[in-house]
Homo-oligomer: A and B are copies of this chain.
């Protein structure tokens, strides 16, 4: 068996000991696991951002990776807890939409976490990351099949995701995430661009966001002078808007949800 990788995403922050305690739970049960922290800076309860982080990062990991995702404002209530096989990976988290990317795999299989023998005891009221999700993720990394964890779930909670809309001969997407560099990552993937604009070169496209027009898709951040706003296909395979050498979001006021058009030049 290859060394298991467990990724970990949460809204726990890095100030307190919550992330460390989860690492301890995993290491105690599976010292061979390699734990990779994706982000613990999700705003408390921001399920949509955590789902986006998982969607952006998980495809970069090898088959068999276990993704532990704990943004769980309903901890202690009747909300279900899930493990899901999808995309060749396994996902563990609350049933609140945070695992939306897994559900986009039509062959995704979800099971509820009902078998308390895989939990850490006693189970607290407020920290299922430590007591339910981390021990279950560890058992999966150690080889427990997800069907042992509880009954099949066929109606997991879905996250409402903005659809791309054809509009005025182009497509309308949204800003989905502002990253550390101030780049605005959007809902428009390379696949969506290819589907919407077959046989159209990137240089033929233009992008409009919050009243700013950007001509063509750049090949690198360094293609244009410092301060220029560029559109570029970023590292997670989606269109992003960046300021060369600057922080586009704070300079231009971009925020999650802002509309973004892509059109072909000459077809406006």
Contacts and interface: CB of A to CB of B under 8 A. Distances in A.
A17 B223 CA distance: 25
Contact of A27 (B3, B20, B234): B3
A233 B124 CA distance: 8
A179 B18 CA distance: 10
A126 B5 CA distance: 25
A15 B75 contact: no
Given A126-B232, A181-B44, A17 B39 contact: yes
Contacts of A7: 20, 24
A266 interface: no
Q: How large is the interface on A (under 10, 10 to 19, 20 to 34, 35 or more residues)?
A: 35 or more
Quickly give the copy total for this chain. Answer: 3
Contact of A39 (B15, B44, B77, B127): B15
Contacts of A56: 17
A220 B75 contact: yes
A144 interface: no
A39 B20 contact: yes
Interface stretch (A58-66, A160-168, A206-214): A58-66
A257 interface: no
Interface stretch (A29-37, A102-110, A149-157, A192-200): A29-37
Given A38-B20, A75-B221, A180-B16, A31 B2 contact: yes
B34 A31 contact: yes
Given A53-B16, A53-B17, A25 B60 contact: yes
Contact of A179 (B16, B75, B235): B16
15 contacts: A7-B24, A9-B17, A19-B37, A21-B60, A24-B60, A25-B60, A27-B34, A45-B245, A73-B222, A75-B222, A124-B233, A125-B232, A125-B234, A126-B221, A126-B235
